[in-house]
């Protein structure tokens, strides 16, 4: 049976914007596995697969139901060991764990302050009210008050990417000459913003932007062609 990836969608179900789902999508492509994506609204998550799920991505592979993008990457690496490695060995796996944590906790938390209202704008009506309620509880203020696109805020965000920028000045991908799962962890964050907003997070000549463009071209331009 083909692998199924339950993938967060906007009101337009072709619009897939979750950073974590993008990480898994790129991992499946890297492995060269056949899969299909199943679009899921926020308010539909509880009714998918075994009805035990609270977040996406969820991957169903035969009898296996896997959640959490990093757990899914580990599962794919272990079960499809004959396919290209996502980590390039044990050390790469350990370092990817750091990039997964940094992208999910730090990078996503910065980006959300630039695009939160854009996310809300593309959601289906029921999802809009779920999203507003849950995020306003989380942030303790309105969605509108969270967003700060002042020059200072944008510059501070760009400055915070210096370690990424320095790495990517000397190599094409975080994984070296070719991408590894660590690249997809960080790619997911920038692709999330790109799928929901036309706000330019980075300057065109920023080495991080140039790396992102290279990632958009991977797998026959999957990321670039995606509907945003
Ligand atoms: N650490 C998890 C994060 C998963 C996660 O938070 N997914 C979001 C979409 S990016 C979600 O499903 N949220 C559901 C909700 O907020 O109700 C992973 O990497 O899979």
| Domains in the chain: ranges and CATH | 3-79 (3.40.30.10)
Query: Nearest-CA neighbor of 187 among 38, 22, 73, 15?
Result: 22
| pLDDT tens digits along 12-60 | 999 999 999 999 999 999 999 999 999 999 999 999 999 999 999 999 9
Q: Which residues line ligand 1 (CB under 6 A)?
A: 8, 18-20, 42, 45, 55-57, 68-70, 104, 134
* C-alpha span between 191 and 76 (Å, rounded): 22
Hey, whose CA ends up nearest to atom 1 of ligand 1? 68
Find the mean pLDDT for residues 138-143.
98
What integer pLDDT is reported at residue 152 of this predicted model? 98
pLDDT single digits (tens) 63-112: 999 999 999 999 999 999 999 999 999 999 999 999 999 999 999 999 99
What pLDDT score was predicted for residue 131? 98
Helix, coil or strand: residue 5: strand
Å from CA of 42 to ligand 1 middle? 10
Q: Which two tokens stand for residue 214?
A: 């290279």
pLDDT given at position 1: 82
Residue 119 is classified by DSSP as: H
Q: Provide the CB-side half-sphere exposure for 226 (13 A, CA).
A: 29
Contacts 24+ apart (CB under 8 A), 73-77: 73/23, 73/24, 73/27, 73/100, 73/181, 76/27, 76/28, 76/31, 76/33
pTM for the structure as a whole: 0.98
Residue to mutate, 45, 55, 74, ligand 1, most ligand atoms under 8 Å from C-beta = 55
CA of 171 to the centre of ligand 1 (A): 30
Contact 157, 107 (CB under 8 A): no
Query: What pLDDT shows up at residue 204?
Result: 97
Both tokens assigned to 202: 């980075």
């Amino acid at each position: 049976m083909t692998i199924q990836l339950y993938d967060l969608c906007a009101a337009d179900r072709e619009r897939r914007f979750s950073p974590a789902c993008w990480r898994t999508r790129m991992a499946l492509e890297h492995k060269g596995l056949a899969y299909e994506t199943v679009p899921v609204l926020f308010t539909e998550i509880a009714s998918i697969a075994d009805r035990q799920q609270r977040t996406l991505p969820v991957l169903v592979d035969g009898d296996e139901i896997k959640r959490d993008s990093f757990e899914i990457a580990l599962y794919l690496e272990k079960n499809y060991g004959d396919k290209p490695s996502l980590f390039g060995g044990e050390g790469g796996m350990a370092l990817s764990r750091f990039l997964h944590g940094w992208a999910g906790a730090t990078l996503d938390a910065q980006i959300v302050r630039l695009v939160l209202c854009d996310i809300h704008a593309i959601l289906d009506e029921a999802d809009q009210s779920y999203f507003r309620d849950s995020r306003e509880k989380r942030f303790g203020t309105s969605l509108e008050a969270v967003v700060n696109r002042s020059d200072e805020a944008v510059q501070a965000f760009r400055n915070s990417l210096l370690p990424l920028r320095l790495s990517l000045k000397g190599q094409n991908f975080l994984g070296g000459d070719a991408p590894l799962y660590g690249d997809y962890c960080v790619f997911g964050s920038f692709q999330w913003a790109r799928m929901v907003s036309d706000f330019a997070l980075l300057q065109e000549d920023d080495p991080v932007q140039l790396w992102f463009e290279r990632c958009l071209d991977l797998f026959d331009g999957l990321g670039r062609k995606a509907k945003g």
